Structure 1
Amino acid sequence: MTTTTFCRLLAALALLGPAPLGARAQAPAAAPAAAANPVLPGDFPDPSVTKIGSTYWATATSSNWGPVFPLLKSTNLTDWTLVGSVFPDRPPTWADHYFWAPEISQDGGKTYIFYTAHRRGGNLCVGVASADRPEGPYRDHGPLVGQPDGSIDAFPVRDEKGQPYLVWKEDGNSIGQPTPIWAQPLNAARTALTGPRTELFRNTAPWEGNLVEGVSLVRHGGYFYAFYAANGCCGGGCTYATGVARARTLLGPWEKYARNPVLTQNAAWKCPGHGTAVERNGRWYLLHHAYAAAPGSEMVGRQGLLSEFTWSTGGWPVFAGGAGGGPGTAPARPAPPVRDGFDGTALGLAWQWPVEYPPAAAVGGGQLHLSARPDHGGAALGHTIYAADYDATATLLHPAALPAGTAAGLAALGDPDNALALLAGDGRLRLVRRAKGQEEVLLETALPAGAGPLGLRLQARRSTRFAFAYSTDGGATWRPLVPPGSPDVSGAYLPPWDRGIRVGVLAQGPATAVADFDGFTLTGQP
């Protein structure tokens, strides 16, 4: 193997792993045992759930990954099936990115998705889409409200008289201001706000920090209860927790619980928040997100948990043991393995792509045909990861036949400007680091003459340390690209603050070039 010099290798690569994080436990309370978590493994922030007929439907933030807003269904709140997305092809034309906090609801025989998105040339707005069936297709009705500081995290609710309202957060923390929670009447079609808006409450308690957000409302025992998240949502330094407030009437006055926060971290999960309260068979749950507490797990993303609560004699919700019901109440769910042979005629529903740069891809004959892209880091298809330690492989067919100036392979993807990729092309195999839109070749070696199908492998540990290898004999033997004993490649820079890493395939070059893949696997490691 021919490589760059060992000095260059040491300069380009770094070994980095986050330290274990501490935990603070919630005081124990009597409650039934929790389900095994996560119920939505992978990057599913801000989950929302509603019951339609005998089926529960859920969705979650997709941020800057397409397709926009996953749609999942379940009969028991714990076993979920991905069945599609709200906007499967293109996002609404008025918005460009930051597709956050979709809230799914059913009213008057229609399913509604109230969601947050960034208006082109403007700020964050709340929009709405509707469908005759929960699986869609959905018709977008455009933005409902977009205040100068931004409007996010909408929740629809009927007041005590049956009048439909929209509740949302004014995004004051984006400019160092408080974050009021507003309520305003909705028209019968749910396509416009009417009448005056009323502030319900804002961040005033010390534990809430610079924001309250993600409000979910239920009625119980003569009160409206607002479950809400507060403090810092995302990343390794997150401080998120969940509080609750209540009022006899929707417009208040609202009383915050003196023992807030009611849902906090424990030894297994940290920074729980932004979810929807739901009842099943007389038992109450909050479907919300949290980070796994294991080192490096913030790069997996905010995963969907089901935390059960009971009602105290004073009428307030009580969670036992913190997020997910506390350690030891149920076994953690193992990371599901992914094996895609590209059978059938359509791309699997779990594949994702940069929402502003959708790739041209086709599936047929047991192969994925991915058209290259000359800009924005190439054409990318990614899959959410499920654990901080994982292995991924892909098989690239005909690497020697790729047109000049084309490279394709396997990559860990943060966003279009940040990736680590093992790419073949122009007779070379290259390890490429893309950071803030600038690419650097860390290592390269010549492809074996007449190479046929090329196996590519990526191994991640604690989500930040990467090793790469390749195979020319169908995976029987693997040749490491980085010499043994060298530091692993650091991927600590990869994911943006609000997202997890994706791993998948990449094709760079002229749009007329096509890279062919015939298999992809992703396996979590203990």
Structure 2
Amino acid sequence: MRKFCLLVVSVFVLFDIAAQGSAFFENPVIKGDMADPSVIKVGDTYYATGTSSEWAPFYPIFTSSDLINWKQAGHVFDEKPSWTSHSFWAPELFYHHGTMFCYYTARRKSDNTSYIGVATAEGTSLKFTDHGPLVELGTEAIDAFVFDDAGQLYLTWKAYGLDRRPIELLGSRLSDDGLQLIGEPFTLLKDDERIGLEGQYHFKQGDYYYVIYSAKSCCGPSSDYDVRVARSQNFRGPYEKYAGNPILSGGNGDFLSCGHGTAVETPDGRMFYLSHGYQSGDAFYLGRQPILHELIDTDDEWLAFKSGKHATIRQPVPFTGTAQLALADFNDDFSGKSLKVDWTWNYPYSSIDVTPGNGSLILTGVPSAGTKQGTVLCLRPQTTSYSYETQVGNTNGSLKGLTMYGDDRNMVVIGVQHNELIVKRVKDGRETTLSRSETESTHLFLKIKVSNGCMLTFFHSPDGKSWYRVNDTPLDGSFLVRWDRVARPGLIHRGRTNEPAVFNYFNLNHIH
């Protein structure tokens, strides 16, 4: 019988192999908020993507050769598919007959109902073309997964999550080109316990079809998400839920919760499950980060994780001779003709107009109807202690500078407007000016220092060398956490489009 092993991949730390006897890595393996990860292997390369929610571009894609060191390669979509509005959740990658598929959840523009669309890319080009919605059934259809059962493709998804009835996992035959459902949907598994049922992953081993799924609360400070398994001798069921569920959960001190993932097989037949997890303590403010664990089968033909029932940070590396690289700082001098792939922006609340190049970035945008807080360009935070800084390169009536951004109604800003240095807080839509002072510098340097994941201290400088603190007591930014995402550091422009912001550089440095 084939053996599976689950590994926990994380942080980016090098361990002394000689002293340890073997090499280890730390979870999370992809740092920063990227929930509902999907992972596949094509050739010698692993590909992963995950939820982007209310941030553009849509669905970041990462690549790796060893499952523990990942590099962002792009996004599934640079522009929203025409049928969608927002809430870009739970993408699932699938490779079939030389084509890479992405099955994804988004809200339909006509009624804001969450349904499932599909996009394809030739080979591993990562240049996806959208084919529109595939599943438009019921009051909601989310969390797609594709399973190949001896040549017959099936699509499964979560249904009835918004109805007064138990949630179900539904399935349907899928055409060989992966673009159409065939026949009537059927039920695979029901949430009879009323504890949740989503984020499913299917595979077959021996006589059994297994479905790994997640239950309980996915998101926010009270998340208690966990991972469970059921099995059947027929793909269509009926499925038996494991009496030993959950098989992976938080609560051991390393992680608050974990769940919603997919598994990938290594060349030697081991299986590694990539899911998301909220870390405990201050690292909660980094969001739902991708974590890796090795999956194994048990003597009674059920499944377990090699490191036990609790998600853990420290794990042995999947492949001998590999080591986890240290986390790098982020620096952008805006010399390129296009934005670096790391940047994200607040698409539901503003259009964006950016012009990088020649050592500066011009940023502006038009707020969406009913919003007023401006356009932001942000990064996913990856550690709990860091600082980020910029130099404002122009003077006008717009407010421009640095932000820690939750959404249009929840953010913190330090910026320059005319000849004034201003610090503002927006909480639940209510705006408060925390500090306002005149400045003689026309090209002021600004910095925000983050500690404990959410404590913010503001600085300004006339030359980028001598820094002056604005607030004596750090500002608590914990209120910036949204239900399904966390705050992001970055740049902001708030004002008219003919009064843009100009930034001369942006640096984010991790504090060790």
Structures share a fold, TM > 0.5?
yes
**352, 365, 384: which is aligned to 2:358?**
365
CA contact (8 A) 1:37 1:332 kept: no
Alpha-carbon separation, structure 1, partners of 2:416 and 2:454: 23
Q: Does 1:290 align with 2:277?
A: yes
Stretch of structure 1 that moved more, 185-194 or 493-502: 185-194
Counterpart of 1:182 in structure 2 is: 170
Tell me: CA distance 1:324–1:358, structure 2 relative to 1, closer, same or farther (3 Å): farther
**264, 272, 280: which is aligned to 2:249?**
264
CA contact (8 A) 1:305 1:323 kept: no
Alpha-carbon separation, structure 2, partners of 1:289 and 1:176: 28
**366, 377, 381: which is aligned to 2:377?**
381
Alpha-carbon separation, structure 2, partners of 1:230 and 1:287: 16
Alpha-carbon separation, structure 2, partners of 1:250 and 1:48: 21
The one-letter amino acid of 2:495's match is: G
Please state whether the residue corresponding to 2:86 is helix, strand or coil.
strand
Alignment of 1:3-402 (within 5 A): 35-88=25-78, 90-120=79-109, 121-160=111-150, 162-172=151-161, 174-205=162-193, 209-265=194-250, 266-280=252-266, 281-293=268-280, 295-319=281-305, 320-322=307-309, 324-325=311-312, 327=314, 335-356=327-348, 357-373=350-366, 376-398=372-394, 401-402=395-396
1:144-199 deviations in Å (ceiling 9; x for gaps): 22333311000011235x22111000142x34532100111112222221212111
CA contact (8 A) 2:26 2:314 kept: no
The one-letter amino acid of 1:244's match is: V
Please state whether the residue corresponding to 2:363 is helix, strand or coil.
strand
1:37-86 deviations in Å (ceiling 9; x for gaps): 21110011000011112211111100010000111111111111111111
Please state whether the residue corresponding to 1:65 is helix, strand or coil.
coil
Please state whether the residue corresponding to 2:274 is helix, strand or coil.
strand
Counterpart of 2:8 in structure 1 is: none
**410, 415, 433: which is aligned to 1:418?**
410
Question: How large is the Cα RMSD of the aligned pairs?
Answer: 2.1
CA contact (8 A) 1:321 1:327 kept: no
Q: What's the offset of the Cα at 1:329?
A: 5.8
CA contact (8 A) 1:377 1:437 kept: no
Q: What's the offset of the Cα at 1:128?
A: 0.7
Q: What's the offset of the Cα at 1:245?
A: 1.1
Alpha-carbon separation, structure 1, partners of 2:135 and 2:430: 37
CA contact (8 A) 2:351 2:365 kept: no
Alpha-carbon separation, structure 2, partners of 1:462 and 1:86: 32
Q: What's the offset of the Cα at 1:460?
A: 2.0
CA contact (8 A) 2:45 2:65 kept: yes
CA contact (8 A) 2:145 2:156 kept: yes
Alpha-carbon separation, structure 1, partners of 2:23 and 2:197: 29
Q: What's the offset of the Cα at 1:461?
A: 2.3
1:495-526 deviations in Å (ceiling 9; x for gaps): 21100211000011111122111221223334
Tell me: CA distance 1:141–1:81, structure 2 relative to 1, closer, same or farther (3 Å): same
TM-score normalized by the length of structure 2: 0.89
CA contact (8 A) 1:390 1:461 kept: yes
Alpha-carbon separation, structure 2, partners of 1:473 and 1:453: 9
Q: What's the offset of the Cα at 1:325?
A: 4.5
The one-letter amino acid of 2:393's match is: L
The one-letter amino acid of 1:300's match is: L
Counterpart of 2:435 in structure 1 is: 443
Alpha-carbon separation, structure 2, partners of 1:321 and 1:333: 25
Please state whether the residue corresponding to 1:299 is helix, strand or coil.
helix
CA contact (8 A) 1:267 1:327 kept: no
Structure 1 unaligned regions, length at least 5? 1-31
**458, 479, 482: which is aligned to 1:496?**
482
CA contact (8 A) 1:393 1:457 kept: yes
The one-letter amino acid of 2:203's match is: V
Counterpart of 2:453 in structure 1 is: 463
CA contact (8 A) 1:290 1:323 kept: no
Tell me: CA distance 1:322–1:355, structure 2 relative to 1, closer, same or farther (3 Å): farther
1:111-153 deviations in Å (ceiling 9; x for gaps): 1100100111231101111111333321111112233331100
The one-letter amino acid of 1:397's match is: G
CA contact (8 A) 2:26 2:315 kept: no
Tell me: CA distance 1:323–1:111, structure 2 relative to 1, closer, same or farther (3 Å): farther
CA contact (8 A) 1:159 1:249 kept: no
TM-score normalized by the length of structure 1: 0.86
Q: What's the offset of the Cα at 1:326?
A: 5.4
CA contact (8 A) 2:195 2:216 kept: yes
Stretch of structure 1 that moved more, 182-191 or 487-496: 487-496
Alpha-carbon separation, structure 2, partners of 1:103 and 1:34: 28
Alpha-carbon separation, structure 2, partners of 1:339 and 1:481: 24
Percentage of pairs with the same residue? 32
CA contact (8 A) 1:469 1:481 kept: yes
Q: What's the offset of the Cα at 1:418?
A: 1.6
1:368-389 deviations in Å (ceiling 9; x for gaps): 1112546541111000101233
Q: What's the offset of the Cα at 1:436?
A: 3.1
Q: What's the offset of the Cα at 1:324?
A: 4.9
The one-letter amino acid of 2:273's match is: L
